[in-house]
Structure 1
Amino acid sequence: MYSLAGKRCLVTGGSRGIGLAIAQHFAREGAILTLVGRNTDTLTDALGTLSPAQHVGSAADSQEAKHSFLDFDTPAPYGYDILVNAAGVSQNSLLSSTSADDVQALLDINLRGTILGCQAVLPRMTRRKSGVIVNVSSLLATKGGKGASVYAASKAGIIGLTRSLTAEVGRFGIRVNVLLPGYINTEMTKDQISSQIPLGRLGRVEEVADAAAFLAKNPYAHNCVLNIDGGLSGV
């Protein structure tokens, strides 16, 4: 298995929830973390749980962040070994009542941000002929859900992006995989009903982090679409 010790890892959405849990798990295995997020105060709090680590204090969907991914204390031409795209926002509104601004925000943060993150790290990974990308999608990308139409569409786009990238970059030694968490016990899903889930409970962020670590470390894991949903995708 691939070791995370000493690997430079960039995590978008790394200040809370699934992104922070992944960062903490990777740090325990010796990775050197850079976190990306919108709120500098929240990022600073997250850094207090990690060592060594640093942060890029800008939105993951911005062009500014795309360049910061490369320039923030990252010696050229090396760059990052691992990118985890975990930034995301949720939706709780019918399509008919979702404003154009909300549609744009969901697409920008969930999908465009993931695309920009991949664009930022791929040139150096390609030159180095190694690298790992773990994208975080959602069970709703394949299952859909009332009040989550735009969210589901944005997360489905991440699956399409991942599958396409695997064909583009595998020959350069770069592996790309995607996680599909179900209802995880975070601020985004705390009101969901666990009785819907065959295992009878919400997932834990640490369980998603374990799966992300597996995808990052297994040298033959490429083009994996991995459900972490307690069996909900089967009902």
Structure 2
Amino acid sequence: MSLLGKRCIISGGSRGIGLAIARLFAAEGATCTLIGRNQEALSTAAESLPRHNSQDHETVPFDVSNTNYWMKMVADRKTVKCDILVNAAGISQNSFLFNTAHGDVSKIINTNLTGTIWGCKFLVPKMMKQKEGCIINVSSLMAIHGGRGASIYAASKAGIVGLTRSLAWEVGRFGIRANVLLPGYIQTEMTEGMDKNGELSTLIPMGRLGLVDEVADAALFLAKNSYAHNCVLNIDGGLSAT
């Protein structure tokens, strides 16, 4: 129970990597607030989280790209601290740049990058008052590796790396740590069907896609290690080396 008494806010917490992180953090004693667009999915996710005596997990349904929702959430929780912020909300892309609709470009950037920026901007002041805090931003191997049909997605995830590295310079003196995870191909709804014939697995040195629990383990390391700051941590089965 290494996170006992900690308050964790997780965007994209209703499924995939975000939910896996929430489950592990809750098992380690943290009380989790899950953010996502779908209240039904959020409620189902929250019900699946481990609960100990003092944990009261909650859900807040909203679009992370909307500043009004962030401001309202922070205002409604003036007395609630945020020890750990995990920005895991994200949407994927499967189209060449010249075929990508204008609206999809904006949606990907606004959700993946802008949503992460707003989460940091609105919750860092709360951490500064506490003189401690931990930010874990979920990027992607695509940020440095690129990928066919993923230009906008890769750009949004590269922006998260730049954001986190710059933020680390700004907040370290306030006792706040900022780190970023770069998962490779992980078994989620987002990657479902991508490795039907095992062709994708052959490109990965470890010979398989990763598991959400393996990414969650990496997030827990970043949450617990008091000297882990400005880390860019690859969880990709060695694909970045190819």
Aligned-partner SS, 1:188: helix
Among 199, 206, 230, the residue aligned to 1:223:
230
State the secondary structure of the residue aligned to 2:191: coil
* Structure 2: distance between partners of 1:137 and 1:56: 22
1:106 aligned partner: 108
Distance 2:72 2:218 in 1: 27
Q: CA deviation at 1:75?
A: 4.3
* C-alpha contact 1:56 1:68 (8 A) present in aligned 2: no
**Residues in 2 aligned to 1:150 and 1:203: alpha-carbon distance in whole angstroms:** 23
Alignment partner of 1:63 is 2:62: no
Q: Deviations over 1:66-87 (max 9, x none)?
A: 1243144x342x5200100000
Consecutive unaligned residues of structure 1, counting only runs of 5 or more, are none
CA offset digits 1:183-234 (Å, max 9, x no partner): 0000111214212110001000000000000001100000000000000000
The residue type paired with residue 112 of structure 2 is N
| Distance (whole Å) between structure 1 residues aligned to residue 109 and residue 154 of structure 2 | 10
**Would you say 1:33 and 2:32 are equivalent positions?**
yes
Contact 1:134/1:178 (8 A) holds in 2: yes
Q: Which runs of 5+ in 2 are unaligned?
A: none
AA at the equivalent of 1:225: V
> How many residues end up aligned between the 2 structures?
232
Matched AA of 2:185: Y
For 2:31, the aligned partner's letter is: I
Q: 2:128 aligns with which of 126, 129, 139?
A: 126
**Cα drift, residue 24 of structure 1:** 0.2
Indicate if the aligned counterparts of 1:166 and 1:175 stay in contact, CA closer than 8 A.
yes
CA distance in 1, matches of 2:71, 2:211: 33
The alpha-carbon deviation at position 18 of structure 1 amounts to 0.2
Matched, 1:49 2:48: yes
Tell me if 1:141 matches 2:148: no
Give, in whole Å, the separation in 1 of the partners of 2:183 and 2:203. 15
Q: Secondary structure at the match of 1:93?
A: coil
Question: Does the 8 Å contact 1:135/1:178 carry over to 2?
Answer: yes
- Residues 4-43 of structure 1: matches in 2 within 5 Å? 4-43=3-42
SS at match of 2:64: coil
Question: Residue 83 of structure 2 is aligned with which of 74, 81, 84?
Answer: 81
Query: What percent of counterpart residues are identical?
Result: 59
Q: Which residue of 1 aligns with 2:159?
A: 157
2:178 counterpart SS class: strand
Moved over 3 A (4+): none
> Is the Cα–Cα contact under 8 Å of residues 69 and 121 in structure 1 kept in the other structure?
no
1:195 paired residue number: 202
